[in-house]
Amino acid sequence: MDNNFDLVVIGAGSGGLAAAKRAASYGAKVAIVEGSLIGGTCVIRGCVPKKLMVYAANSNNNILNSEGYGLFCGDTFFNSEILLQNIKKEVFRLSEMHLNSLNKLNVKVFDGWGKFVDKNHIEITCTKTKTIINKIRGEKILISVGGKPKEFVIQGSEFLWSSNDIFKLNKFPSSLLIVGGGYIACEFACIFNNLGIEVTQVIRSKKLLNGFDTDLSTSLKETIMNAGINLICDDELSKVSKIKDGLELNFKSGLIKLADNVLIATGRVPNLSDLNLESLGLEKRGKYLKVNKYNQTNKSNIFAIGDIVDKPNLTPVAIEQGRVFADNVFGGLNRIVNYKYIPKAVFTIPELATVGLSEEEAIQKFTKEKIKIFKCKFISMSNTFKNKKSYSLLKLIVNKTDDKILGCHMFGESSSEIIQMAAVALNSGVTKKEFDMTMALHPSVSEEFVTMY
């Protein structure tokens, strides 16, 4: 009887933790199954450790560029071993904090990998011996196993790093080639470049950050090239060979380069392969599990949230999905997740952030004649005396018919903090006139959003 639960959660990432805690707060008997550290991608090998690296990179960038402010630091030295040790300590602290909160709520934590036996029963496999160590039953089962790096198959792929491997390092390499043009690739390119590491980034097209507004993509591309990142466009890595001094890299174009290491950051896929889902007949939508608006699969007692469903794969989205699920199933509520105007940020240097429609999406939805674009580009005051200057870009997309703001985009310092507040306004249906009527806060970067004409 001890192995019977009202809810079994497979995966202790952000979404699974949120669901387990909320369900337990309603009095449900909850179990959570996890074979890695409690915390999932965001806490252990994603958002949190990466953002700590961004802080380090920004600090170094400010030290090296502040002589114009009268700040002279002499010879600086970056010890990547100290940074990586401190990041690992913080990750373990956060993981322990989540584990303690589960224990306080009487959530039973099973250490191992979960796999379906049938729609109600889960086998738990030992992470070391691969043997079955337990079997539990859940009246409701929530799948929240997250994503994993997309496999990159070429000759010499055994020498390649994934984004997961970066956080296992004891020290940084002296040179790195990064494959990919998405947010993970761009963030790591900026982190390593600003910590003094030679970075080459290769992309298959000419554009970074597919799916983001073109002005943001163009701004980032100009900035990272000016910052010294060697950007190779319209090419692909085809072969990697181990040589005495590192790796020899062959490209489809015939280009040959050398690097210490290669990071593959070409995207992530749902981590569903080891759950024995085929035996259940769960429906899929492409690579994702198919769910209804309540995150329920075609098996009425099985639900799925996070990076395994076809919704924005973002930590706050997974958390809200988990809480909404628990509120509905165990709290008697009738909630759905609000997917409109979800803010997104890319923590490059400088960072960029966005909420709402891009210019391209707005044209496709409303036509070019029915939208109006407002934007401004300038060097922010904080860059006035810096040796290396970067600019800020602010952009609004407005519906001419009702004056409502459809999209708000920013490239430059504090973008993420500013766009978070803009998301509140867009969710409330704010108009351009209401932006214009708002008094500016001077001097600030964000005041440009309410003074654009």
pLDDT for the residue numbered 2: 81
**Active-site residue, selected from the candidate residues 98, 121, 409, 442:** 442
Distances, alpha carbon 420 to alpha carbons 67, 331, 354, 410, 425, in Å: 32, 29, 9, 11, 9
Average model confidence (pLDDT) across the chain: 96
Spatial contact of 99 and 17, defined as CB atoms under 8 Å apart: no
Residue 418 has pLDDT above 80, yes or no: yes
pLDDT for the residue numbered 244: 87
pLDDT for the residue numbered 181: 97
Average pLDDT value for residue range 129-151: 97
Measured CA to CA, the distance from residue 428 to residue 34 in angstroms comes to 39
Average pLDDT value for residue range 82-98: 98
Q: Tokens at residue 308, please?
A: 């395994």
pLDDT for the residue numbered 441: 97
Q: Tokens at residue 353, please?
A: 């952030």
- Determine the Cα angle at 38 with ends 32 and 43, to 5°: 135
Catalytic residue check, 121: no
How confident is the model over 92-109, as pLDDT tens digits?
A: 999 999 999 999 999 999
Residue 383 has pLDDT above 70, yes or no: yes
Average pLDDT value for residue range 428-442: 98
Residues with Cβ within 8 Å of 231's Cβ and at least 6 positions away in sequence, in order, are: 200, 201, 202, 203, 221, 224, 225
Measured CA to CA, the distance from residue 299 to residue 306 in angstroms comes to 18
Which domains does the chain carry?
Answer: 4-148+269-331 (3.50.50.60), 151-266 (3.50.50.60), 344-450 (3.30.390.30)
pLDDT for the residue numbered 274: 94
Spatial contact of 355 and 343, defined as CB atoms under 8 Å apart: yes
Average pLDDT value for residue range 449-453: 95
Measured CA to CA, the distance from residue 391 to residue 413 in angstroms comes to 9
Interstrand relation of 246-251 and 256-259 (parallel, antiparallel or unpaired): antiparallel
Residue 1 has pLDDT above 70, yes or no: no
Measured CA to CA, the distance from residue 284 to residue 275 in angstroms comes to 14
How confident is the model over 392-417, as pLDDT tens digits?
A: 999 999 999 999 999 999 999 999 99
Spatial contact of 36 and 43, defined as CB atoms under 8 Å apart: no
How confident is the model over 263-292, as pLDDT tens digits?
A: 999 999 999 999 999 999 999 999 999 999
Residue 74 has pLDDT above 90, yes or no: no
pLDDT for the residue numbered 387: 84
The pTM assigned to this predicted structure is 0.96
pLDDT for the residue numbered 390: 87
